Structure 1
Amino acid sequence: MSLPVCEEILLREEAGVLHLTLNRPQVRNAMNLKLVNEVMATFDAIADRSDIRAVVLRGADANFCAGGDIKDMSRAREAASQNDGEDPFFVLNRAFGRMITKANYAPQVVITLLEGAVLGGGFGLACISDIAIADINAQFGLPETSLGLPPAQIAPFVVNRVGLTQARRLVLTGARFKGEEAKALGVVHFTTDSPEAMDELLAQQLKQIKRCAPLANRVTKELILSVGQVEHETLLDKAAQQFSTAVQGDEGREGTQAFVEKRAASWAQ
């Protein structure tokens, strides 16, 4: 399936990696409904593409994402006053949740490069990334409650990332913090102190990802995300079947043969 034509995000495919850039720098890449729909369409388009091994999410002009676009909310308010049908506020907010969920369950490895503003929905995207790399001066936070709003679609992902105890503090105080505290909380895995260092670390992580078999990574990510969602014994039965299939499949045969022959597997060359 080909990539969608987009206006609010930039897409670049290179060497098995899809680079997705939020491209609304005039509002620090705040997300409107159009951007949200474009991100969802992109993840739908690559869902079955095993040739794309990783997705790198970042924001244009050294800001990741300042959350939801307040102007979009104002337009929803105007629509609500003129609409007797579906609630436009519900539609707008629920779309954010669907987007973050699609990114969370993407079979590719999702990497976020976090610079500048990492707020609201941007914070939510950081919380679902498989690998998160942050600039030490990036500004993290959940400002929704200070605006009189709940972080409705984001809160569950924050709890999953940092645990209930820390999530309570973060969402109920609208706390702001930088990269090192984000690392201590477990929001991010690595911090860097320059764009060059971030790009170098990204290259290292991509190299490691490409050492792993594409299908094995997909199956493993699905397994990890099923923990707590599927009954324990049922999950282990499914995992055993997936293991059996993998051992007898092309990747399993190639991987074990490459090990015996002391060479890199075909997918890592």
Structure 2
Amino acid sequence: MAFLQTQSLGIRFGGLLALEDFNIAVPKGGLFGLIGPNGAGKTTVFNLISGFLKPTEGRVLFQGQEITGWPPHRITFLGIARTFQNIRLFGELSVLDNVLTGGHCRGRAAWWEAAARLPRYRREEKERLAQAWMLLEDVGLADLAQQPAGKLPYGHQRRLEIARALATRPRFLLLDEPAAGLNPHETVELMDFIKGVQARHRLTLLVIEHNLRLVMGLCERLTVLNHGLTIAQGAPGEVRRDPAVIQAYLGK
């Protein structure tokens, strides 16, 4: 049984076909990639899996359970987290507080327990704070914990967004263009960083990326989209030689 699977997934916006008959099966512990030209439908796939959009056809299954059309907060609580192509941090909040926001999705205390600072709420806050510090150490940002997130260099903001996603305690992580805006040296560091995060947190990953060097060296298997349609699937070497991919994605 696949850890995460989509079956004939599709969505239309009015008369515009954004995605059609998308099928993927990611095994537990896998690191799969999703590539294609701009406008191919990659982020649409992430939005459908994470509940930001509802499909017009098809299904999404997580560990055999259908989650099609679930709202984002339910999907996050189930164990699926994501980052965004355009970084969405709280720029005025500290680095530490940004990570703490991710941990609140696991809170059990009611609002009135928080308002009165009752024991369960205080216990959960203590646990969230300890987890946040651990994650900042993990991503190399502990020394910057009190800095405003918006003041961080771009590469550090990418790491912070991943740390915030990890604070939700996911089992499946969607990374949307994690290398966007990074220089070649930072991209190489990111590759090792992602592999390390996956191993330490025992994650299954699906990654969208335009940087072919990164995705070819990082992912075990790739799916290629073009105009909302799957044009290739396979190991990176196979996909790189596929004539349809060369024409549609590489432009050669």
Say yes or no: TM over 0.5: no
Report the structure, 1 or 2, having the larger helix content.
1
The normalised TM-score by structure 2 is 0.29
Q: Which structure carries more relative contact order (alpha carbon 8 Å, separation 6+)?
A: 2
Give the structure with higher Rg (CA).
1
Q: Counting strand residues as a fraction of each chain, which structure ranks higher?
A: 2
The TM-score with structure 1 as length reference comes to: 0.28
